[in-house]
Structure 1
Amino acid sequence: MQPTTDLYHGTNKAAAASIRANGVDTGLSTRRMDFGNGFYTTRDSQQAADWAARFGKNGTVLHFQIPTSQLDALNSRSFTEGDSSLAGFVRSYRGGSADTPYDMVEGPMLMNPGKFMRGSAPDWDGNQVTFFGDTGSMLDAGLQ
């Protein structure tokens, strides 16, 4: 059995049912997010559970197990909190940039987006793994 990577997506039950029925649509989101319009997951199951808790009893967590070799084969970009280019990358996408050259981007979450976009220092926390383009079918195949 090949090694897999566990990813989680906190959402509401209706969105989860739609994903199970219709598959992951990496272009569905239109909100200005840290890494652009994509499908956001995390490696941290508790973080996903906390996100789902925002929906109260309608919250749920989807679990994906993706072969690590498939993730490694993607055109990806990974950031750490100390990466000097992270703030500029996030500022660009939070500011409205739409297209990314990547299939996957991973890094910490911006916890103070409003203040950051008005010039404050970024406050990073947690983990997010975001998928773009034609990666939805890979996620669909790994949905548990």
Structure 2
Amino acid sequence: MKIAIGNDHAGTEYKLAIIGLLKSKGIEIINYGTDGTESVDYPDFVHPVATDVEEGNADMGIVVCGSGNGASMTINKHQNIRGALCWTKEITALAREHNDANILSLPARFIALPQALDMVETFLNTKFEGGRHERRIEKIPCR
């Protein structure tokens, strides 16, 4: 499995911890995020994540910014991206089961780091249910 990850300055600590978790599982990482805490523009770091997932260069993606909103809005401008802004493990599971989310957006300023790591585990381990949800996914327009 290959995961693309991107973050802005608010998400650096979380990104580094997530990379550690992913590496411990033998998952290949493409890191587009900043490693610093100086203010940067999140679109510069999350567009490449969405592009990699969109083009099949990564299986899934994870983006992290302060609220998760800006990153989520940015990735969802890409064709066939179903980015989910999640703040609990349960919402993360539903995003995968019902919406076939392929990029997880995390709000670093509003969730604790252990919670974020649990959400990443849930995101990776939860499968899309298909069935009636497939019909709904097909109704999401793509450009």
The one of the two structures with greater contact order (alpha-carbon pairs below 8 A, sep at least 6) is: 1
Say which structure is richer in helix: 2
Q: Structures share a fold, TM > 0.5?
A: no
Q: What band does the TM-score fall into relative to the shorter chain? A: under 0.3
TM-score (norm 2): 0.26
